[in-house]
Structure 1
């Protein structure tokens, strides 16, 4: 008997993966691929969209020919802040530009209340091409613009390869794109200049074609929140840790303030269109950078350090969320790597506590769920638990959260229990 499966292509900047999930949401097949970057017309590195597309289609064909599986759904989770410009046949007419490429066309912020007010209304810190809507603003002045029938966010473009339909999906629109007016709950007024090139917003999670549920594609950070929203009954904040530590508060619907924006708080949109207030800290990057400095100075490996309750006696350094608090400390103040690492983690978690409090001050919750790399770091978890005695602090583990979220969006059955493993601190 063939096993019903949902296929999800999880497309990151570096690694491209495909997973098959059975209806108990266990991974029964996976495959990974990476591609060398190519360059755009200006010589700036970008995604090799043609190679990626060929791999996705050939892999999909391979899956459909596997005798042990019956495909019942297909979806995509992919990085945001990227547009694909297609003609009426759905063929790309321009490269998939890299969001790290410096912006060259100035945007008229002054016409919309200035940078600060524009950023507040759109919940988008001024980030150049990371504000992907401004990529489309600049595209109006490029030679390929007359050929553009639709500008599609990257996950929605990938979905269009299989549905043949052009739709926008709200999670991509709501990720620091400068497109959405969070005050009004609709496109910002400036978007009227390009709105005829933006695909209509889909009001459904999937399209059923020949018995298969085809999803619209999701922004990966928003997709990663879906398993938690489906599985956790109490109100919570999810702190997803990696290079960036992004805390997402699905139950905080207060308007974004200028002070929050100045401290790297922004908003995403959930698949149901509701805002998710989020705070960001470059925590994983700070950890990698400072550990390298410490290990070079003292020798040894931080992995040999052991947690001690004496850590609680240390005081964090005052610092903004943007600068590493430990970076200005003098190594002469420490006897060895272990004592330096203790202080570093106190400083880092001090910044994380400040970042979390921006979300929690007006919207308390019962649970703080930490996933990703720092959920396995004893210092990080114990210091957080001590800082928030009124919260249940958990290390959470869920396999491939972004891909799982995308799979759940095209599944019509009940959500299985035990999707998420929790360890309380």
Structure 2
């Protein structure tokens, strides 16, 4: 059978999938690779180990007799650059986007370019240090100019992986457009600082996500996509009326492809940003660290009530508990005013656990608090746009308490739990559909479960 291979490279899990022409996964492998450290001893991806793993998996796929490999594409985490010289040799470690950014260098940069506020609004990039991948290039140039001179191209990780197979260097709009400080969203072109700093020539030409690079024999190879932008593709293909996708994991990211209003500085301060779709349309997004908060608080609950950490998996939505808790807190339904920033702190952090009679009641309160945070965060991207549906995918979509409370918080919007195997990998396969798959795309790629409020 004909298949497409997608390498889905997360920070922790590296996966490869084969999808058939109906976009069902027919084969997969995954691995956690050992990290290495950069010259400062900071942990980072070992690019050589990753490269070897990809070539080993490709050799394995080509030896499978049941499948005919038609195409390959990549979806990976963003915000990381690979620097190559004119022979394609990698010049530096793949620096980790969590690495501290030198304060002085950061201040110098923003002072040079009209200050944080003006710059952040233009580039739709909150000030995030190394997480703004353009700042990594600036740092290399300032701290190591001799090495910088040897750089032929700066490639985001998905494009470097594509380069490994094609030997052709490209940039891609989904990587360039994800809070990198590189793109001027007002003018829809690179920000002028790249030219001023002699960096622009080291960024290869833009290539469109739906196009492929070359057929090696008959093999179509995509240029790769940033995983957050890739994950939204199955939804934009399947649904035309305005929706928000709430993608939940460690971060809960509300993505609204139907909100074209430019970001304000206030929204940027509330962790809003823009992603770019492979069709070059911006997607307004808001991030909340709620999967992480859920992990921290469920550990706290387990210790207090002396139960196993994953006890919450046995707790189901109970209307009575919710209305009792609401009555106790005099809380009808949101919003309530807080004397702290609810997007940065979950109200549950301040709650005294000895006030709760049981684990089950306390866990319902935690979910009430998390959904209240979510309500504020998601509203930042719903604001001023005609959203009719919210699709929740990832971890929280399987949590009945979260889903029921979210549906209650949005009585005028239909709320669905969406399940789909591997959204970002599927998105990368769908992006190059026309280049390998003769069948039409079906409209049942996503399973939906409706939650009544």
| TM-score, normalised via structure 1 length | 0.97
Contact kept? 1:299, 1:337, Cα under 8 Å: no
The equivalent of 1:111 in structure 2 is 112
- Counterpart of 1:18 (choices 16, 19, 40) is 16
For the aligned residue pairs, the C-alpha RMSD in angstroms reads 1.4
1:217-262 CA distance string (max 9 Å, x none)? 1011111011111111322100000110001000100010122112
The equivalent of 2:160 in structure 1 is 157
Matched, 1:268 2:275: yes
Matched, 1:176 2:179: yes
Q: 1:312 and 1:233 mapped to 2: Cα distance?
A: 36
The equivalent of 1:417 in structure 2 is 443
1:80-126 CA distance string (max 9 Å, x none)? 00000001121201111111111133342122221122112111111
- What's the CA shift for 1:299? 2.3
- Counterpart of 2:82 (choices 68, 84, 90) is 84
Contact kept? 1:368, 1:392, Cα under 8 Å: yes
- What's the CA shift for 1:16? 0.9
Helix, strand or coil for the counterpart of 2:82?
A: strand
Matched, 1:72 2:70: yes
Contact kept? 2:179, 2:275, Cα under 8 Å: yes
| TM-score, normalised via structure 2 length | 0.91
- What's the CA shift for 1:302? 2.5
Identify which range, 397-406 or 103-112, moves more after superposition: 103-112
Matched, 1:202 2:212: no
Helix, strand or coil for the counterpart of 1:140?
A: helix
1:175-221 CA distance string (max 9 Å, x none)? 11111111111111112121011111114531231322210010111
Contact kept? 1:86, 1:150, Cα under 8 Å: yes
Contact kept? 1:227, 1:405, Cα under 8 Å: yes
Matched, 1:240 2:247: yes
Q: How does 1:362-377 map to 2 (within 5 A)?
A: 362-377=384-399
Matched, 1:401 2:423: yes
Q: 1:282 and 1:127 mapped to 2: Cα distance?
A: 15
Q: How does 1:298-317 map to 2 (within 5 A)?
A: 298-300=305-307, 301-310=311-320, 311-312=322-323, 314=326, 315=331
1:117-158 CA distance string (max 9 Å, x none)? 211211111111000000001111314212110000010000
Q: 2:303 and 2:211 mapped to 1: Cα distance?
A: 50
- What's the CA shift for 1:329? 1.3
Contact kept? 2:74, 2:158, Cα under 8 Å: yes
How many pairs were matched up? 423
- What's the CA shift for 1:410? 1.7
The equivalent of 2:294 in structure 1 is 287
Identify which range, 14-23 or 299-308, moves more after superposition: 299-308
Helix, strand or coil for the counterpart of 2:174?
A: helix
- What's the CA shift for 1:312? 4.0
Which runs of no fewer than 5 residues in structure 1 stay unpaired? none
Contact kept? 2:317, 2:404, Cα under 8 Å: no
Q: 2:262 and 2:323 mapped to 1: Cα distance?
A: 35
Q: 2:90 and 2:158 mapped to 1: Cα distance?
A: 14
